[in-house]
Amino acid sequence: MRTTVGIIGAGPAGLLLARLLHNAGIDSVVLESRDRSYVEHRQRAGILEQGTVDVLRAAGAGERMDREGLRHDGIELRFARQRHRVDFPGLTGGRSVTVYAQTEVCKDLIALQLKEGGPLLFEAEALAVEDAESERPRVRFRHEGREDVLECDHVVGCDGFWGVARTAFPESLARVFERTYPYAWLGVLADVAPSHDELVYARHDRGFALLSMRSPSVSRLYLQVPADTDAEDWTDEAVWDELERRFETADDWRLERGPITQKSVTPMRSYVHEPMRHGRLFLAGDAAHIVPPTGAKGLNLAVGDVVTFARALVHERETGSPELLDAYSATCLRRVWQAERFSYDMTSMLHPGPGDSPFDARLQLARLGRIASSRAAETDLAEAYTGFPWE
């Protein structure tokens, strides 16, 4: 097989890149190791930044998102039984975020790719990226019981932390920066209308809690738990009782309960792989960087990566200059590190650590109090949450 861009991974990054290239008249082939059902149902992020929403619309993938997605103009911070709303449009000149699950983004992009785009091969396991430094890199893969080779002008690895793209970088070239947090999130899906119309981030001495949603009738909620937690150790009643404690306010707000349909534990980790390019192999999304979910940045960073790559490839085709492709890694990493910084700030501000002292607790409350009392501090949070600009 031969194509211009070989894309490994049919998550939102790989699928959106295929769509952007199709719209620009550039052919691609997408290889995905899982089957279609798995890709369309794996639960991941649900918050889309303003820039991500704009890109999906411009790519022709925004119709259902605009119909079913939930626009949010702010978040609520809770601490010391107080409530403080951060007004995104008022602080950012009109920017907002949209609640629309990653599973739905993937469904929309898969439908478009199968209808209009190039080959999208499910259950096609990428085995290795070869000759990345040559003009014709190759992806060896297994599909329908036999091995094959995809020859490309460029390869983009959107295959996550455990994929083959990242491991194709020479050890002498790669630099890794990471942090593992001593706690995790216990996440639940519940068949009950959200108890608040915007996301609620709660800092409590017992641990962090987040009230989110998947739809007007389905709530998504999270509890900070020890890193080695087994989700099955938590009964439904214990989950609701602990959520009530951590969301407690001084007014008459109440948390609505309902049947819990799913429980899972999400580890908390920060990770960056530098550089994000080796020869004609480019990394995007979780293959290059991971952020703790507190800042809602993972999916949006992946979108930024593939938009940067697509623009750079179009620029080379139109001008003959590889300048933007050569700058891909540096361009993406500037945005990645700002997102890492913001995600770390949000995480460390809202999560009491297992070894924290009373002094540490007071610092967290002081940081939250600063946001609640300073328009400058509040604006910094709102600008970061709604999305860092793409260069």
- The H-or-E segment that residue 76 falls in is strand 74-79
Amino acid at 384: A
Q: Is 92 within the bounds of a domain?
A: no
Same domain, 129 and 237: no
Res 41: pLDDT: 87
**Confidence at 58, pLDDT banded by 50, 70, 90:** very high
Residue pLDDT, tens place only, 136-188:
999 999 999 999 999 999 999 999 999 999 999 999 999 999 999 999 999 99
- In sequence order, what E strands does 88-198 have? 97-99, 120-121, 124-130, 138-143, 146-151, 154-157, 175-190
In a shared domain, residues 219 and 146: no
Mean pLDDT of 254-279: 97
Domain membership of residue 93 (yes or no) is no
Residue 169, domain member (yes or no): yes
Q: What is the mean pLDDT of the chain?
A: 96
Q: Based on the fold, state whether residues 121 and 231 are members of the same structural domain.
A: no
Same-domain status, 104 and 139: yes
Structure-token pair, residue 45:
């992020």
Same domain, 187 and 231: yes
Same-domain check for residues 36 and 117:
yes
* % of the chain at pLDDT higher than 90: 97
**pLDDT score recorded for residue 183:** 97
Question: What is the per-residue pLDDT for 71?
Answer: 96
240 in the same domain as 155: no
The amino acid occupying position 369 is: G
Task: Give the pair of three-digit tokens for residue 54.
Answer: 């704009």
* Domain presence at residue 90: no
Confidence at residue 219, expressed as pLDDT on a 0 to 100 scale: 95
| Residue 286 near residue 276, CB atoms below 8 Å | no
For residue 334, CA distances in Å to 328, 329, 389, 390 come to: 10, 9, 10, 10
Indicate whether 32 and 107 sit together in one domain: yes
In a domain, 132, yes or no: yes
Residue 91 lies in a domain: no
Condensed to tens digits (0 to 9), the pLDDT of residues 17-27 reads 999 999 999 99
Determine, yes or no, domain membership for 86: no
Average pLDDT over residues 81-93: 97
Q: Has residue 264 got a pLDDT over 80?
A: yes
Q: What is the tally of structural domains in the chain?
A: 2
- Quote the pLDDT of residue 46: 86
**Which pLDDT score, from 0 to 100, does residue 44 have?**
74
Q: Tell me, yes or no, whether 53 and 131 share the same domain.
A: yes
Q: Sorting pLDDT into bands at 50, 70 and 90, what band is 134? A: very high
**What residues form DSSP beta bridges with 178?**
271
In a domain, 289, yes or no: yes
Range of the domain at 129: 5-70+100-177+269-346
Catalytic residue numbers, as ranges: 72, 201, 293, 297, 385
* pLDDT digit string, tens, across residues 210-226: 999 988 999 999 999 99
Looking at residue 59, what is its pLDDT?
A: 97
Is the separation of the CB atoms in 140 and 130 below 8 Å? yes
**Is there a single domain that holds both residue 60 and residue 20?**
yes
Angle between helices 12-23 and 102-116 (to 10 degrees): 40
The CATH number given to whatever domain includes residue 249 is 3.30.9.10
- Residues 249-257: contacts with CB within 8 Å, 24+ apart? 249/78, 249/81, 249/82, 249/83, 250/81, 250/82, 251/83, 253/83, 253/195, 253/196, 254/195, 255/195, 255/211, 256/192, 256/193, 256/195, 256/219, 257/190, 257/192
The answer to whether residue 45 scores a pLDDT higher than 80 is no
Q: Which CATH number goes with the domain that contains 133? A: 3.50.50.60
Query: For the chain, what is the radius of gyration of the CA atoms?
Result: 21
Q: The pTM is what?
A: 0.95
Residue-wise pLDDT for 95-106, tens only, equals: 999 999 999 999
Give pLDDT tens digits for 298-309: 999 999 999 999
Do 194 and 340 reside in the same domain of the chain?
Answer: no
Contacts of 259 (CB under 8 A, 6+ apart): 190, 191, 192, 236
Coil, helix or strand at residue 360: helix
Q: Are residues 234 and 224 in the same domain?
A: yes
**Which pLDDT score is estimated for 388?**
86
